[in-house]
């Protein structure tokens, strides 16, 4: 069995919906595994790139996100060739006790992946600092790969993600074939549905016994209309000063990016960590969705001594390339005067609101409830609701409109009556 690895060239910018973080923005590597049988003939070949995003609990009972890459040093013990009665197994081990494997079965002249097993070690302090739970954690997921014709090479350059048990696995640039016949990699590619039929390979196999594959593809998937983006999931966020909660926020967040083309991005609370600062007159809530989307909300208390109120002053949003950490977009607006409430109260607005950051970016909020100051007993204080939520204002509006209409009708009737009366007393 031979393995070759090398730094992969950066991919073109992937869709911003793939908000994958990279702790310290570690470089990703293309990993190549060439499994050989007892006769030193290739029986399983694979080359791919992969990242993991893991949410874990710390000793302070907070949750943080860890990003794990395939590093430049990977072992592949336990990989098995497989046959028509035994499953093939592709297994790699890396870092401080982490491992990943996928098994393949052969049925009726086809093969397919069955289960993916990922084991991470929270004793790896470099990846999981201050982890509360120590030891190995294993996640098993069913693979959704469709059956592939034997002796065809499965190719998928599109990024695929699988989420289970606080772990999201990202895999892309896959070139893979188990059950290789006679030691020769197949010359026909079967592409995943996400790839376009003419997509050029991003990572080219370099094993000496791997022949150049043709661009023959399977039948393209039928074109479907894009699905509308649903409203974001509402997340609960908080900050602590010592052992006391000093800021509470509940909100669903959606970004509207129009830098190149319109794109809606929902912030996922499950993969979002919180940070920030609390003070007597200013507070900042920092949200980090996997180290690819950073959103800062800054609140201040007004300077008036008679009526003390807080309000949202500034919002800063940074979008990063999840592969190398470069800044895609940075937008800031420090001239807001929104979400105001009396100091000691909270602010609530269940309806959708829009924060105009700049011409390229908007932030939409849903089910907002926030209190950045004077939080007591870890609970929201009395809420001051936005006018959008106050349905009671419709009553005076309706009554007023009805009265106005009635007055108009009376005036018109009076004018008509006056005209008729005047006409009846004309001189003969």
Whether 117 and 89 have beta carbons less than 8 Å apart is answered as no
User: Each residue of 38-54: pLDDT tens digit?
Assistant: 889 999 999 988 899 99
pLDDT of residue 19: 37
Q: How is 145-206 classified by DSSP, letter by letter?
A: PPPEETTEEEEE-S-EEEEETTEEEEEEEEEEESS-STT---SEEEE-TTS-TTPPPSS---
Higher model confidence: residue 120 or residue 1?
A: 120
pLDDT, one tens digit per residue, over 235-247 is: 999 999 989 999 9
Q: Residue 277 in contact with residue 298, Cβ under 8 Å?
A: no
The predicted structure's pLDDT at residue 229 = 61
Identical fold between 31-194 and 235-388: yes
Task: Provide the 8-state DSSP code for 381.
Answer: -
pLDDT(11) > 70: no
Decide if pLDDT at 143 tops 90: no
Classified by CATH at the fold level, domain 235-388 comes out as: Porin (2.40.160)
Q: pLDDT grade, residue 358 (50/70/90)? A: very high
Question: What does the DSSP 8-state code read for residue 27?
Answer: P
- φ and ψ of 414, to 5 deg: -65, -45
Percent of residues, the chain, with pLDDT higher than 70 = 78
Q: Is the pLDDT of residue 203 over 90?
A: no
Domain spans of the chain?
31-194, 235-388
How high is the pLDDT of residue 197? 53
Average pLDDT, integer, range 129-139: 90
User: What is the reported pTM?
Assistant: 0.45
Half-sphere exposure of 331 (CA within 13 A, CB side): 21
State the pLDDT at residue 250.
Answer: 96
Q: Does domain 31-194 have CATH number 2.40.160.110?
A: yes
Reported confidence tier of residue 119, pLDDT bands at 50, 70, 90: very high
pLDDT in tens, 172-188: 889 999 999 888 888 89
Half-sphere exposure of 72 (CA within 13 A, CB side): 5
Diameter of the chain measured on Cα atoms: 129
Mean pLDDT of 148-167: 89
In terms of pLDDT, which residue wins out, 364 or 324?
364
C-alpha separations of 102 from 35, 92, 140, 401 in Å:
14, 9, 10, 68
pLDDT above 60: residue 82: yes
Taking 90 as the threshold, does the pLDDT of residue 9 lie above it? Answer: no
- Average pLDDT over the chain reads 80
* pLDDT number for residue 335: 93
pLDDT band for 18, please (50, 70, 90 cuts): very low
Q: Which two tokens stand for residue 26?
A: 């570690």
What per-residue confidence (pLDDT) applies to 260?
58
pLDDT greater than 50 at residue 17: no
CA distance 92 to 115: 15
The most confident of 13-27, 286-300, 330-344, 408-422, by mean pLDDT: 330-344
Mean pLDDT value across residues 311-329: 82
What are the structure tokens assigned to 261, written together?
């083309």
How much is the pLDDT for 26?
34
List all residues 6 or more positions away from 26 whose beta carbon is below 8 Å from its beta carbon: 67, 69, 71
**Would you say 334 and 358 are in contact if contact means Cβ atoms under 8 Å apart?**
no
> Residue 420: what pLDDT?
60
Top-confidence residue, 418 or 340: 340
How many C-beta neighbours within 10 Å does residue 61 have?
7
Residues 6+ apart with CB under 8 A from 351: 386, 388, 389
């Amino acid at each position: 069995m031979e393995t070759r690895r090398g730094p992969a060239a950066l991919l073109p910018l992937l869709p911003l919906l793939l908000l994958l973080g990279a702790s310290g923005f570690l470089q990703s590597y293309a990993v190549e595994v060439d499994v050989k049988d007892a006769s030193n003939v290739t029986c399983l070949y694979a080359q791919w790139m992969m990242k993991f995003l893991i949410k874990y609990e710390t000793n302070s009972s907070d949750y943080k996100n860890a990003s794990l890459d395939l590093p430049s040093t990977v072992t592949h013990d336990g990989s098995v060739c497989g046959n028509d009665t035994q499953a093939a197994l592709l297994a790699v081990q890396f870092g401080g006790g982490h491992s990943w494997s996928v098994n393949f079965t052969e049925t009726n002249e086809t093969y397919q992946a069955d289960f993916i097993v990922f084991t991470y070690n929270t004793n790896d302090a470099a990846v999981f600092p201050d982890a509360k739970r120590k030891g190995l954690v294993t996640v098993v997921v069913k693979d959704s790969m469709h059956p592939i014709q034997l002796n065809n090479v499965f190719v998928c350059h599109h990024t695929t993600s699988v989420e289970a048990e606080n772990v999201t696995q990202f895999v892309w640039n896959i070139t893979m074939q188990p059950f290789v016949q006679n030691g020769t990699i197949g010359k026909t590619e079967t592409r995943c549905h996400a790839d376009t039929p003419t997509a050029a390979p991003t990572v080219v196999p370099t094993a000496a016994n791997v022949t150049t594959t043709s661009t023959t593809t399977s039948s393209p998937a039928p074109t479907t209309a894009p699905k509308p983006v649903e409203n974001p999931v509402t997340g609960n966020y908080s900050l602590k000063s010592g052992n006391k909660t000093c800021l509470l926020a509940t909100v669903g967040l959606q970004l509207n990016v129009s830098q190149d083309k319109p794109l809606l991005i929902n912030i996922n609370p499950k993969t979002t960590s919180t940070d920030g600062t609390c003070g007597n007159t200013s507070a900042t809530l920092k949200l980090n969705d996997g180290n690819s989307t950073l959103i800062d909300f800054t609140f201040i208390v007004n300077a008036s001594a008679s009526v003390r109120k807080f309000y949202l002053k500034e919002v800063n949003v940074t979008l990063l390339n999840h592969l190398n950490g470069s800044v895609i977009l940075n937008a800031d607006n420090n001239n807001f005067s929104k979400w105001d409430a009396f100091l000691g109260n909270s602010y609530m607005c269940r309806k959708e609101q829009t924060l105009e950051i700049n011409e390229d970016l908007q932030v939409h909020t849903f089910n907002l409830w926030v209190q950045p100051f004077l939080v007591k007993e870890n609970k929201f204080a009395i809420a001051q609701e936005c006018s959008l939520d106050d349905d009671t204002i419709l009553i005076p509006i309706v009554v007023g409109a009805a009265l106005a209409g009635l007055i108009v009708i009376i005036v018109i009737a009076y004018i008509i009556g006056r005209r008729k009366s005047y006409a009846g007393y004309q001189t003969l």
